[in-house]
Structure 1
Amino acid sequence: MPRYCLTVDLINDPQLIAEYEAHHERIWPEIQASIKDSGINSMEIYRYENRLFMIMETTASFSFEAKAAADASNEKVQEWEALMWNYQQALPTAKKGEKWMLMKKIFDLKHL
């Protein structure tokens, strides 16, 4: 099962961070469906201060491109993403419009 790790920052404001976390205590059903329908079997998000770290485990056929295309045509996903941009901020190295950045795996204890 492929695993992907991604990161993005939150706006460094305690109230906004609390609101962001509250939204994730109960995500919208349409968002949960779009995640699962795309081939994401497991998703966890961790936070350290205003830095977020996401771990996704997916099916072998999962595609970031297919997920992006499906999301672009889903009004509820677009509404959710617009709402999340009120809390998130792109990493300094992100290109315009980029949000979650794919991280490079540099170590795996299993392969020693």
Structure 2
Amino acid sequence: MPVYVIAPAFLAGDDAVEHLGRFSYFAVPVRFDDRDVPDTLEITVGPDGSQIPDAVASGNQEGEMATHLGPGDRLLLDHHTNTWFAWTATGAQAIASQLRRDLVGKSLTPSQLRAALAS
């Protein structure tokens, strides 16, 4: 599953919905013999297009968040607040957050999202 992060151009003032995020990594669920729950292998794409196993994260948060995506939505992460969004055709809907629980369940236009992340 592709995971996107909030794009610097968006934070700098670009209100185009298609510029909210940029690709960060592919999240691939993996299971290790000594663990009862799946973990996540993060695969990045190198400058030459090669796929590079980059990190292993405990748990399968990306997979859990993906269950909240509608058709055509993309998984978008704001690292600073650890907030997961469904990146939709009109903006973003907050799925879960560690630091901005007030956003969860809200649909935000690009300008509303930028203001929320700046506050």
Give yes or no for TM over 0.5: no
**TM-score of the superposed pair, with normalisation by structure 2:** 0.25
The one of the two structures with greater contact order (alpha-carbon pairs below 8 A, sep at least 6) is 1
The structure with the greater share of residues assigned to strand is 2
**TM-score of the superposed pair, with normalisation by structure 1:** 0.26
